[in-house]
Amino acid sequence: MVKDEVLSALRRAERPVSGAELCKALGVSRAAVWKAVEALRKEGYEIEAQSAVGYRLVAAPDRLTAAELRAADGVVGREVVCLDTVDSTNEEIKRRALAGAEAGLVVTAETQTGGKGRRGRSFQSLSGKGLYLSVLLKPNVPLDQVSQLTAWTAVAVCRAIEEVCGVRPQIKWPNDVLVDGKKLCGILTEMGVEAETGALGYVVVGMGTNVSQTEEDFGPELCDLATSLHLLGAEVTRRELALALIAELDRMNAAFPHGREEYFDAYTRRCVTLGREVLLIRGDGTTQATAERLTGAFQLVVRRPDGTEETVSSGEVSVRGLLGYQ
């Protein structure tokens, strides 16, 4: 869209840009540039226009646009779709994957009406408050390696957050990113399998990161369990975080699965589950244990009170003192 291209050009410019320069760079008419500027102003962008000087972006709302997030190099972010409202960015990716979308597609949304987490739980998706982003991947790996992408993604999320705002997150096995014992980001990995061959068709990795929520936004049920970058004192735009996250996801995609050692070491250093008392929450009840270590496949090895060990590859782990388990 011309509007997105004009916005991208104004963001990059270090000085006012004339209408003629925009026309030449974008290959559009002066009328198209003027309409794009007016449309941006209606969306809350403050654009100064000076005769014989040009346009200058003075202030901008924290909105996500495909033109600004689209990556020039790499795989992840070659195609970006930014939606106002969707049931779930994961569901949108799956629909597009079935229609033939290529690996690297990124979908974001201002809000989700059916955001979801693990085990069918709902995920709070307040409009404009969080970064709700999913990516389509098509790794050439056996099915039993796909689950590792959740752990790899947790590392990528932590690195992106640390890069843009200096906050150092930790990871609660297997898929929660925490700061100070409160949830900052959740990750959900889903896959599609070809019915005829049983081969992996695609993987969708969805991330929901709390950016500007206040305690009032979380409410009494969540304020003791969740946090946001704003509450941590890190004032960062969703655009800045999205750009850093897309870059880290592309790096992850290029490294998977051969860079396992790097991501395993990074995950282990950040994992707050290890060495702590946990509850294994399963369909048949709960089991108390101590988290001992991770296997090379990012499975959790726990020790029961009788000294026996068990490798956990599924189910929910609740850690004492974190996210409601006291």
pLDDT digits (tens, 9 = 90+) for 118-152: 544 545 667 779 999 999 999 999 998 999 999 99
pLDDT of residue 325: 57
Average the pLDDT over 200-209 and give the result: 96
What pTM does this model have? Answer: 0.87
Judge if the upstream peptide bond of residue 257 is cis by omega within 30 degrees of 0.
yes
- Indicate the helix (H) or strand (E) that contains 216: helix 215-222
pLDDT at 249: 98
- Say if residue 42's pLDDT is above 60: yes
Question: What are the structural domains of the chain?
Answer: 2-59 (1.10.10.10), 66-270 (3.30.930.10), 277-319 (2.30.30.100)
Averaged pLDDT score across all residues of the chain? 90
Pick from 245, 221, 79, 227: nearest CA to 164: 245
pLDDT at residue 220 in the model: 87
Q: What is the pLDDT of residues 212-243, one digit of tens each?
A: 999 999 888 888 899 999 999 998 999 999 99
Q: Who has greater pLDDT, 14 or 185? A: 185
SS3 per-residue string spanning 141-187: CCHHHCCHHHHHHHHHHHHHHHHHHCCCCEEECCCEEEECCEEEEEE
The answer to whether 108 and 131 are in contact (CB under 8 A) is: yes
Contacts of 138 (CB under 8 A, 6+ apart): 103, 200, 201, 202, 203
- pLDDT above 90 as % of the chain: 67
Residue 326 has pLDDT above 50, yes or no: no
Tens digit of pLDDT for each residue in 56-113?
999 888 889 898 899 889 999 999 999 999 999 999 999 999 999 999 999 999 999 9
What is the pLDDT averaged over residues 194-199? 83
Indicate whether 263 pLDDT > 50. Answer: yes
Residue listed under structure tokens 């974001």: 108
Strand partners, 55: 17, 49
pLDDT band (50, 70, 90) for residue 202 = very high
3-state secondary structure of 304: coil
pLDDT greater than 80 at residue 305: yes
What's the angle, vertex CA 136, arms to CA 135 and CA 140, rounded to 5? 130
Between 208 and 4, residue with greater pLDDT: 208
How many other C-beta atoms lie within 10 A of the C-beta of residue 282? 12
Query: Which residues pair with residue 132 across a beta bridge?
Result: 109, 208
Name residues whose C-beta falls within 8 Å of residue 62's C-beta, 6 or more positions apart in sequence.
128, 212, 237, 238, 239
- The mean pLDDT of 39-64, rounded to a whole number, is 89
Query: For 239-257, b where at least 16 C-beta lie within 10 A, e where not — what string?
Result: bbbbbbbbbbbbebbeebe
Pick from 98-107, 171-180, 235-244, 305-314: least confident: 305-314
Q: In this predicted model, which residue has the larger pLDDT, 29 or 323?
A: 29
